[in-house]
Structure 1
Amino acid sequence: MFVKNALRAATALTLVTAGSASAESLTIAIVNNGHMINMQKVAEAYTAETGIDLNWVSLEEGVLREQVTSDTATGGGQYDIINIGMQEAPIWGAAGWIEPLNFSDAYDVEDLLPAMRAGLSHEGTLYAAPFYGESSMVMYRKDLADAAGVTIRDNDSWWNVKEAAAAMHDPDNGVYGACLRGKPGWGDNAAFITTIANSFGARWFDEEMRPDLDSVAWNAAINFYVDLLGNYGPPGSEGNSFNEILALYNEDKCGLWIDATIAASFLENPNVAYAQSPNAGNPVGANWLWAWAFAIPAGSPNADEAQKFIEWATSKDYVKAVGNHPEFGWGSVPTGQRASTYDIPEFKAVAKFADAEMAAIDSAAPGATDLKPYVGVQFVAIPEFPQIGVIMGQEMAAALTGAKTVEEALAASQEAADSIMREAGYYE
């Protein structure tokens, strides 16, 4: 069932023009974040050594997901290597959309963090290799918190975090208490919002996989989110996701930011402190689990060369190449992928965030629980979720701007999700 539904969802997207790389080159679709941008520079050494030209297609997160899904589902052949994550890898692997990965012994698959390996596999077969992995955590300006007389603790309550944001909020001087995701998308605002909802005891679906978005818990969570970000966030928060907030933070405009642990590699202010994600009584699911990974679309004529590149790009040697690179250094290596990275003395000396990052990754709980019958923290591991998540993200942005009430936005999300799940055959 899921292959048919996933194909239908994918072909509803705008198709991109098909093409293919020659045997002397690889075309790689990547998300436009810092580590991927750095890779283009580091990979010049790979081209020099192998003679393989690398054609990079760098796209904003939502656009990347749309184009890669469309091209891969329809066999468009535009890309030899694609960036995907934990939501797609097991489903696409089971559907035969991407190739299984078989690396050499020197690659040391066992060194990949267990959470990343498991999330990118289907029935024990690895279908995508993690370039970096992440959970989410609080990153806050310790100097501003101290000046305001507030403390942010590990696994703090959302209400205490809100009080801290209010105390640090100083818009007249260009400082906003809380910078949080508001840009619509299942991997954008919906990802962060879901961790809040989880901590309030909400869930996407009940035991029969019927949507549960009009519940009391969802209502409480979204009202809290809208109140927090609406009152203590920067103007235009409905347009902000990872890259936009990173820029604001590095301009010293944010008191606190709760987002991907990987952001810590790119924070420039020396007064940043870290805490485990807050919750509203339920700590399970309060912090997400994700990996941006490399996969090979099925049937790629350059699959062998693609796998060689992926083996290099996600290896211990690549981490060392970034650490020793004159433009980057050990504070800029991709993290959350390999256990061995956290044992490198040079990395430990500069990565003040490392312990907090690993604690967040280790505490993330993607498995099904008594509360939720599905796999996933900030997403649901079913093919229909991206379509549902996009709609929900748009509705939550409308609630944030005041274009709709929270109740109206949740009711619209519930109705859309119910229609999609019924059409997919989960229930009548």
Structure 2
Amino acid sequence: MLLLIAHQVREEYYRLEKRFNIQFNGNCLYALSHYLIHRSRQAQSTINNEKARQLEDFLVQKFPLLYRFCEAILGALTLKLDIEPQRIDLLLLVLWFHKNGAISQQQVTRAIILAHGYATASSIANVANRLLKSQLFESFDMPLDVTPEAIANQVMAYIESHALASGLIILVDMGSLNAIHRHFNRRLSTPMAIINNVSTGMAMYVGERILQGVMLEDIVREIGDDLAIEHQLYYPQTDKPRAILTTCATGLGAAANLSALLKASIPEALGIDIVACDVETLADHARREPMLSRYEVLAIVGTLDPHLADLPWISLDSLISGEGSRPLMRIFGELATAEQVSEINNLILKNFSLRRVIESVTILDTAKVINQVEQFLLRYEHLAGRDVPNDRKVALYVHISCLIERLIRHASPAQYTGGQCPDRELATLREPLVS
């Protein structure tokens, strides 16, 4: 009995794993099988309906993707195993999977193949998936007399049942399918590209780049140079995903670490992406435009102000000192409840301590760096005959830490003019640095 149920659980898990981008420890599947066997022997749950409803509302907001996954797998097993799950089964399953390390896999661009004929699309998808050793492509075989509306309905059903965080590429066999986006019955909330003249070679070309993590925009641009195709790229005009960008003068790696700190401070239920960008991308109009078209950017957080009009800038040192939390609270005040705003504020104060931030932006020994900068500031205050304000000290801790790392890595700033600091100020700064 256990082997039969375990087989059914494993089969449904593998079917839903790609759809929801969720990965579990293999032992979870056997534990779920044991639970389904023994649940019928347990007494009726004593939790009252009101408490169950409150717990359900909390889990839906806190773990939306995991909740939908558990709903789907219980729904499928209900039919296959002829069981009647209760609400408490779903709630326990969500809590247990979360406790045992359910993780969201890296979101990648998804791809589907649309082609007329009995098995044209499925044949191309099957060959490409086998050669790529990944179930990357979904296929839709279209009868010759099918209408664009019917095709659009199938695509929309796919979009609604799959997480498309990084976009969707549709490979089609004829130019007439390029216009199917006009028949979509709701607005897009993620970028979508339609590429015609699909072939096995094209599917391999696109699939390899998706698995390498290449951005949708770069795939579309490069395929035009390498293959004779036509392409169109659409960005959502409304309902864009909300995002906060992070950037750092020391590079993309430090920006990604800052992104992780900020992501840990914002409830998942708000649906706000935290996206790391390098300074050069934000400084270049052509390179930053796809990012700004893809997201509704709420603010930019980092160590170097890119000076972009209409986008709030929040410096990293102001977050550490507590000053930067005010503009963040103004942003979240329109998107979150008072309780969530309070939670965000507390998490920012906790996560953006000076030590944690310096650990994020450098690879150096944090304790030694902080001690060296502290000694420099004491000598500077003595020589300059003035006290440095606390908020300025915080900024200096962060920027001097970045400076030390750049010197060690021989990575000078991309843009710098000597006129940014007068010689008389440089003379005062040099002495405590070299003494």
**Under a length normalisation based on structure 1, what TM-score does the superposition of the two structures give?**
0.25
Rg comparison, structure with higher value: 2
